[in-house]
């Protein structure tokens, strides 16, 4: 009688390894998508170059701040919204429409690993995007970067809180879109309205008062204001609508939107198309 064979079963992959593998997949898919690369990296840089050249002002309201420096702060905030909200909502809705989510959900991959993979991909892409915009701002418009730790600490929490808010709303909105292919047509006008009313393309105080009040409801206005607090000199603070950066209110409003996005994401996210349920 032959000896019994011993079968060695390897240990199952850890949650961290599955999450990192999923993150790598997300990054590879992003890098292979020319449309996303252009939308995330090149559009903000093109806008920065065009608007900075058109509105070539070196002394906004007598503060010594150039429009290019003002615009850099706004484009960083807008780029985070595009990456975390618009791009993520579109990509998830398309994955759902093409049954990619359905197949992922049928694998042993934990749902948390999938979401963390998406979040890490957004974080990495956003860091690169911000670095490119700052480099372009320094080279083309002489933007002066903060030289003290306090401003960079402010940048860190505004960046992380703003990106988290954008990301959860990207996930939440993906479930509200019935058609993945029409997602871009639906979301682009929404993002453009927020950009034009939140002090991204124009100085916020030059907008009509009723538009300022409209923008104050949404997170992009507060995200852009938080970034101005980081990259604009202190003398510009008096030129803000309230006469200050309102950083505590920035934190409050972004946190409120973050919590609301988390609740909606948890209650509405679906792996299957509506017709498959």
**Digit-coded pLDDT (tens) for 38-62:** 888 888 888 888 887 777 777 777 7
Determine contact, residues 63/145, Cβ cutoff 8 Å. Answer: no
Q: How many angstroms separate the CA atoms of 97 and 185, rounded? A: 16
Of residues 9 and 154, the one with the higher pLDDT is 154
User: Which tokens is 22 given?
Assistant: 């999923």
**Digit-coded pLDDT (tens) for 10-35:** 567 888 889 999 999 999 988 888 77
Question: What pLDDT score was predicted for residue 48?
Answer: 84
Q: How many angstroms separate the CA atoms of 202 and 198, rounded? A: 8
Query: What's the mean pLDDT when you consider all of the chain?
Result: 88
Determine contact, residues 43/195, Cβ cutoff 8 Å. Answer: no
**Digit-coded pLDDT (tens) for 68-109:** 888 899 999 999 999 999 989 988 998 888 888 989 888 888
Q: What is the DSSP annotation of the chain?
A: -PPPPPPPPPPPPPHHHHHHHHHHHHHHHHHH-HHHHIIIIIHHHHHHHHHHHHT--S-GGGSS--HHHHHHHHHHHHHHHIIIIIIHHHHHHHHHHTTHHHHHHTSS--HHHHHHHHHHHHHHHHHHHHHHHHHHHHHHH-PPPP-SHHHHHHHHHHHHHHHHHHHHHHHHHHHH-S-STTHHHHHHHHHHHHHHHTTSSS-GGGS-HHHHHHHTTSHHHHHHHHHHHHHS-GGGGGGSTTSS--HHHHHHHHHHHHHHHHHHHHHH--SS-GGG-
Determine contact, residues 78/224, Cβ cutoff 8 Å. Answer: yes
Measured between alpha carbons, how far is residue 65 from residues 77, 170, 220, 233, 240 in Å? Answer: 18, 33, 21, 8, 13
Lowest average pLDDT, out of 2-11, 99-108, 130-139, 147-156, goes to 2-11
**Is the per-residue pLDDT at 2 higher than 60?**
no
Residues 6+ apart with CB under 8 A from 146: 152, 155, 230, 231
């Amino acid at each position: 009688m032959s000896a019994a064979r011993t079968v060695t079963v390897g240990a199952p992959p850890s949650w961290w390894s599955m999450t990192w593998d999923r993150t790598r997949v997300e990054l590879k898919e992003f890098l292979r998508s020319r449309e996303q690369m252009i939308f995330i990296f090149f559009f903000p840089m093109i806008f920065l170059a065009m608007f900075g050249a058109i509105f070539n002002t070196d002394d906004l309201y007598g503060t010594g701040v150039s429009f290019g420096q003002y615009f850099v702060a706004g484009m960083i905030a807008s780029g985070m919204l595009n990456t975390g909200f618009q791009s993520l909502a579109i990509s998830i809705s398309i994955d759902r429409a093409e049954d990619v989510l359905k197949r992922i959900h049928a694998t042993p991959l934990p749902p948390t690993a999938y979401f963390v993979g998406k979040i890490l991909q957004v974080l990495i892409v956003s860091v690169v995007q911000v670095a490119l915009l700052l480099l372009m701002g320094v080279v083309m418009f002489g933007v002066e970067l903060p030289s003290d730790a306090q401003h960079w600490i402010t940048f860190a929490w505004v960046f992380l809180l703003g990106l988290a808010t954008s990301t959860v709303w990207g996930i939440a909105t993906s479930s509200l879109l019935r058609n993945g292919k029409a997602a871009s047509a639906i979301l682009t006008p929404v993002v453009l309205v927020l950009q034009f009313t939140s002090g991204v393309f124009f100085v916020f105080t030059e907008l009509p008062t009723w538009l300022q009040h409209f923008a104050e409801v949404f997170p992009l206005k507060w995200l852009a204001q938080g970034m101005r607090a980081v990259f604009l000199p202190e003398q510009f603070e008096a030129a803000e609508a309230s006469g200050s950066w309102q950083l505590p209110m920035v934190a409050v409003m972004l946190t409120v939107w973050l919590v609301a996005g988390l609740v909606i994401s948890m209650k509405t996210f679906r792996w299957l198309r509506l017709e498959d349920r």
